[in-house]
Structure 1
Amino acid sequence: MSGTDKTKAGHDLDGPIVILVEPQLGENIGMAARAMGNFALGRLRIVNPRDGWPNIAAQRAAAGADHIIGSVELFDTVEQAIADLTLVFATTARAHDQAKPVVGPEAAASEIAGHVATGGRCGILFGRERWGLTNEEVGLSNRIITFPVNPGFASLNLAQAVLLVGYEWFKRATSGALPHAMPERSERASQHQMQAFFDNLVRELDKVEFLRPAEKRDTMLVNLRNIFTRMEPTKQDMHTLHGVVMAIAEGRKGPAKGGVLDGEQATRLRALLAEHGQGGGVPDSGSTVRGLARLLRRNPTDAERLLWQALTRDRRFAGQFKRQTPVGRHIPDFVSFPHRIAIELVNPGEGEAIAADRAGRRTWLEARDYRVVDMQVADVERDLDAELARLEAGLRQER
């Protein structure tokens, strides 16, 4: 599973030493080192590797665990490899008929943690890929580690065995802390938002006569409302659900109705028109302009759709603004003629030509006593309520 983030610091834990006894394949050594790295086991000892050392196959299979491969300690015998240790575990899937405690990896991790905490040195023996550890090698250990596996198919790959022990050790050492969690959701939706959405949903359902028969309407409405209240939706959830309902209600217009654009395409077309609108550069053919106007009106950008829904349904603004089609040098996105306020939606990364065109439009509007309110598209899509509150404050100031 991919997930290594090289910008984050790893754990530096004082854990057990992994000892591979006569491993036969360099690939298995490398994969064992990778498993060690996953769980902050940093010390690897190898007893008499069959293909010698260093081993290019091990380096390749380590997949980045170079700090482990580069500091491997080599020994000729198991006795030499464990000579400085005070607690030794032997991993095996077979019963060796030895009077020796047998524990699972979780219990072994707990004992290792206590032993290391008091200054002890611990090691874990892993045997050969084909036949594991000999009776004599198991006899050198203080404990046997075995795994709760299918007795009819108990043999584990070398790296798998290292990984299982490493997992239990690391979980014990870090109290099972996970590396990441679900990101915090946006703020909970207000009851006002919930009601506005529900009113919108019911209005559209009534258009298609969904809430029938009449005697069951109230019960159906209660059930529908409970679906959404159980969700505990966020503000962003409400914006999304509003968009879903309106997309279904309005449908998509086919080519004969003026074409189909998604929100991103509509944004690019508006930017293209703005860039070519300097000095009246929009095509002067009446039919062309009318065609562009129809196309843009039927295919609003995502931010334009969100804002227009709010301006038409929110009681603070309903009936006070008109949505305009921005084809023409002096036409803003939204305008309130009674309040003489124009709203401009500003896309991120607008070029110099678009900025100049916008500045010229502002000058023209302000000269005619219109107040221009710029709204960043990113702000509208992220926190529409805040932008509406700012607009409401401006209306109060105007009064």
Structure 2
Amino acid sequence: MREVIFILANAAREENIGAAARAIKTMGISNLYLVAPIANHLGERSRATAHGSIDILEKVKIFSSLSDAIEGIDLVIGSTAKKRNVAQVYNPVDDLPQIILDKGNTIKNVAIVFGGEESGLSNEQLAQCHFLSTIPMYRKYPSLNLAQSVMVYATYLSKVTLQWKKKSIDPPVEAELP
């Protein structure tokens, strides 16, 4: 089964974890991983902000490192608001669905990785991603919180999950006979 996985590394606020769960569920995505979380994903504030998405919180997978979380994932995309001194390709979020769908059957799963609220992903974590992605923003105030960023990416990546589901449901088309 093909899947999109959202990974939050070093999430420090319960509210952001809960809101992220709500965002991905709203967009038809159900896989949430946490890497070395600082906040409790089952805490009172996480549950309150998840509003109807407790099932996502209850099946969260927790990992001690990003390398453990991405093991076996075919395509890993790092989300970053800042251009870093790393030699990687940056793609805007709105290009991601086509990039992923163009890979066809070569991938079964995709992960989008977000860093902690204070400093984002470390250079070491960014280096573990196949490429990086950004959300184009108004430059005078280029700031979204973690849960808002998750919602933006979930909106775009839901296009991928919808296409994957459609392809798995549609019957194969018979070749035309001469």
User: Is TM more than 0.5 here?
Assistant: yes
Residue 94 of structure 1 corresponds to 82
- Size of the alignment, in residue pairs? 163
Relative to its length, the structure with more strand (as a share) is 2
Asked whether the equivalents of residues 15 and 116 of structure 1 are also in contact (C-alpha less than 8 Å), the reply is: no
Q: Of residues 21, 37, 50 in structure 1, which corresponds to 2:25?
A: 37
Asked whether the equivalents of residues 4 and 161 of structure 2 are also in contact (C-alpha less than 8 Å), the reply is: no
Query: Shift of residue 14 of structure 1?
Result: 3.8
Asked whether the equivalents of residues 88 and 125 of structure 1 are also in contact (C-alpha less than 8 Å), the reply is: yes
Residue 13 of structure 2 corresponds to 25
Q: Give runs of aligned pairs for residues 14-93 of structure 1, distance below 5 A.
A: 14-93=2-81
**Cα–Cα, structure 1 residues 25 and 118, in superposed 2: closer, same or farther, change >3 Å?**
same
The alignment status of 1:107 with 2:95, answered yes or no, reads: yes
Query: Shift of residue 83 of structure 1?
Result: 1.5
Q: Give runs of aligned pairs for residues 233-312 of structure 1, distance below 5 A.
A: none
* Identity over aligned pairs, percent: 28
Amino acid at match of 1:87: L
Name which one, 1 or 2, has greater alpha-carbon Rg.
Answer: 1
Asked whether the equivalents of residues 14 and 116 of structure 1 are also in contact (C-alpha less than 8 Å), the reply is: no
SS at match of 1:54: coil
Q: Give runs of aligned pairs for residues 327-366 of structure 1, distance below 5 A.
A: none
Asked whether the equivalents of residues 115 and 122 of structure 1 are also in contact (C-alpha less than 8 Å), the reply is: no
**CA offsets, 1:212-264, max 9 Å, x none?**
xxxxxxxxxxxxxxxxxxxxxxxxxxxxxxxxxxxxxxxxxxxxxxxxxxxxx
Q: Of residues 131, 134, 145 in structure 1, which corresponds to 2:133?
A: 145
Asked whether the equivalents of residues 15 and 113 of structure 1 are also in contact (C-alpha less than 8 Å), the reply is: no
Distance 1:173 1:120 in 2: 11
**CA offsets, 1:331-357, max 9 Å, x none?**
xxxxxxxxxxxxxxxxxxxxxxxxxxx
Relative to its length, the structure with more helix (as a share) is 1
The TM-score, its normalising length taken from structure 2, stands at 0.83
- Superposed CA RMSD: 1.9
Which runs of structure 1 show a deviation greater than 6 angstroms over 4 or more consecutive aligned residues?
none
Structure 2 segments unaligned to the other structure (5+ residues):
164-178
**CA offsets, 1:260-300, max 9 Å, x none?**
xxxxxxxxxxxxxxxxxxxxxxxxxxxxxxxxxxxxxxxxx
Amino acid at match of 1:102: Y
**Cα–Cα, structure 1 residues 87 and 119, in superposed 2: closer, same or farther, change >3 Å?**
closer
Asked whether the equivalents of residues 59 and 66 of structure 1 are also in contact (C-alpha less than 8 Å), the reply is: yes
**CA offsets, 1:18-72, max 9 Å, x none?**
0000100111100011110111111000011113453222111101012211110
Residue 356 of structure 1 corresponds to none
SS at match of 1:90: strand
The TM-score, its normalising length taken from structure 1, stands at 0.39
The alignment status of 1:123 with 2:111, answered yes or no, reads: yes
Distance 1:116 1:156 in 2: 31
**CA offsets, 1:62-118, max 9 Å, x none?**
010122111100011111111121211000011112221111112112223344744
